[in-house]
Structure 1
Amino acid sequence: MYSVFLVDDEVVVREGIRNSIPWDETEYTLVGEAPDGEMALAILKDIKPDILITDIRMPFLDGLALARIVKKTQPWIKIIILSGHDEFSYAQEAISIGVEEYLLKPVSSGSMLECLHKVAGRLDEEKKQRNDAENLKRRVMSSNDIMKEKWLCDLVSGAASTSSAMEQAREFDVDIVSQVYAVAIAELCCEKTNSTELERAKSIIESLASASEGILCFSSGVDTITFIIKGKDGDTVEESAYSLAQGIKYETERNTNSLISVGIGSSVNRIGLLPQSWSNAKSALKYLSATGRNMIAGVNDIHPVTDSAHTDFGADPVAVRLRHATKQDIDCIVEQYSGILNESGARQGTIAYYLLYDIIVAARKLALEFGGSHRDLFPEDLQPGDVSALADSPESFRAEVRRILERIVALRTAREGSGHDSVIQRAKRYIQEHFADPDISLNTVAAEVNYSPNHFSTVFSQESGETFIEYLTWTRITRAKQLLASTSLRSSEVAYEVGYNDPHYFSFLFKKNTGKSPREFRTETPPGGE
């Protein structure tokens, strides 16, 4: 399936495209729409569609300006331009930006589908090329490329002085000059150790980075890629770093079997301070590795630690894993332990006993560290026979591991919560209070909690398990269901009450999320039923 996002300031055009194409019968999903480029840009950061359909002439931010920004920040998105102007200059500029198709209005459903099929074909062809193992094997680095990578590694690690770095930058024809810098490191993890899979992932990452403005990218290890992000100020660099991290993680993980963790260092204002940012990025990666989480984290995102035991990642790997586990990690951890059991063959019962014993010992220590006691986890004192009984079957083993993890997470949350808990709660509270405002967006909520948009988008989705748009839509649809069940407001009035200026788009979203139209929902729901 290919996800499609639509931008046009004319309601009748959006309705025409939305209603004339039988989306459920095609390989395309209409994931959202916006009335102007500025509003679209904020949503695109969250939704990350495959295809963008946009009008040229719109208020606030026109289609060509939107296309330029999208090609820099989300270069994998294919863009179709709609225009009511048969002017060569528009088409010429669209081609220079890298737009895939240019359609003149009015557009029939047949023409639009034909255009979508063309773009989908290009997406398939690109994927096929990335999967071509023979092409990957023929990627041979020149001696100049190898020397360039060595220089960049020396630059970020501090092995090269500023003066020699500037001299070599001229030799390699690399623009290294900037007002502010930050270093980010991406670490790849393949489910199967496979050099071809790693090369595929690296190829995607390098392609995205090369299409992004102000990014220097180089391989810094078998499974790591390092980035130098340049910008005019700290906010710009942070926004670019999180945008890049989101893009490479999204594209690589959906096109390969690799998982990616990205550590982002602090902003620095001199080339000579790049090693400081590089060290920060490594610390963030080390934290992610220790907690077993394939995520994106800046040095300021990792949880502050005051106890020396928290920084000793090698002391007790089970305790480290439990200490930093979140609700979203529980299923993954349980499955990983189940996997170990499945591979243990005839020794499954013995392995289960020792695994569970280690978890119990680590959990008891953590309960004390979090200000509780072992009775918060185990009301009755466990005896060896009890542990043996719990480890007797895979089902009881998994259930007990899950129960312990849930209690540990609850204890830690009660004491201090996630480093981002207060930010997420403030953001959700703001959304709950302002969801009826049609102009609420990722940008406005990010500003409310003093985060850059891409940083906030990353943190919100990772900590909440859903994107900002998904949570906002859920909030609006939930309120709409209440209004439909308890008032006599017309569907269009309900739409306005929950923040949608376009009643038809509200009906489209309502049915997409509930499986029923607003009218069907009201008919089938008894008064006060929601």
Structure 2
Amino acid sequence: MKVFLVDDEIVVREGIRESFPWDDSPYTLVGEAPDGEMAIPMIRDTNPDIVITDIKMPFMDGIELCRLLRSQLPWIGIIVLSGYDEFEYARQCIQLGVREYLLKPINAEDLRQALDKVSGLLKEERRTREHAESLRARTESDTRFLREKLLGSLFSEDAMEEDAVSALEQLRTMGYSVHAPFYVVIDAAFSSVDKGQPISEDLALSSSGSIFATKSRTGSRILVLGDTVADAEERVYAAATSLAQELERAGCETIRIGIGDIVDKPGDIFKSFKAARHIRHILVEKNDAKALIFGTREMGDTPTDKKSSAVISEAKLYMSKNFTDSNLMLQDVAKAVNMSNSRFSTVFSQQNGQTFTEYLIYLRLKKAKELLRTTDKRSSQIAFDVGYNDAHYFSYIFKKNVGMTPSEYRAQNS
């Protein structure tokens, strides 16, 4: 174990350094200092297991040093040396977690016994911490496994109403409140699964308890809770949009996201999942070369009437005026044209031949190419001007869609 010595008397430091058989012991003297003020940075650098310190020292005395060690480096064992056999010093040392209190003068045997005692206490504490950490990790692993199993049971075709209610109640006792007036399921598939599943988990963790994610063989299944139908719809579209964007940012490909029906009974969660899975399968069968697409139960509709066409024209006009807003989302445009999120998503894709996200990217990159050709603005500024707060993400999207980086495009078209 590493030992650091603090004492303002050089004779004491030399005596401990020279008289103690360091080479024939499990202890190594890694440094020394004449006062607490000088000792603190040296202790941080040498990272000792045990600090031996005097009480009476200039600048920073032993009591203050012990107080700092207790608050900043609490794992260090402290042995106090003092020429004062006073109760008040001993009392303060005990309060500060000092392990041993030795009166000067000390000999090698006294110091060896004190070091052995403190070393034994530190080893026992480390074993206790390691055991507690092992138990905590095992408990967390068991909890995650049970949580995954219970969430997975909600998507089982065999789940009855009472089974779903029981699963939700067990999740509640584990600290997960999954009860809500309304539920809706997202079924997402993507590659690679290893890259994408942590993104789904992060989405759930950042949702303040309104989203729960579980793994599937091809991606993730996400349960979204809502207080009202409108609330559930808004949350599920925000979640699907955010998930799609983050998956694309992470380099995932063939992203397919199905959104199920909004249901109001735990036993119907499977129905929502079944609808979401069906939509995802439709998206897969479309074999669209695009990397980003999601749909809803309304994909089977074929809105060809003039009213739908007029609404989409209005939506595209709205997007052309607002695409530079980095916060522009599908629900904003749907609200502007007085249409539900799910209906708007379906109608827009069928009328326009592109998803909302694809068309938004098209508008932004069209403007970006114009600015690259006609201005000397930096790529990072152009990214901001067309609605991207992250210049690196802008470059990634640009190269993915245009086939070259912004700087390469400028060089070829200037």
**Alignment TM-score, normalising by the size of structure 2:** 0.45
Which structure ranks higher in relative contact order (CA pairs < 8 Å, sequence separation ≥ 6)?
A: 1
**Alignment TM-score, normalising by the size of structure 1:** 0.36
State the structure with more CA Rg. Answer: 2
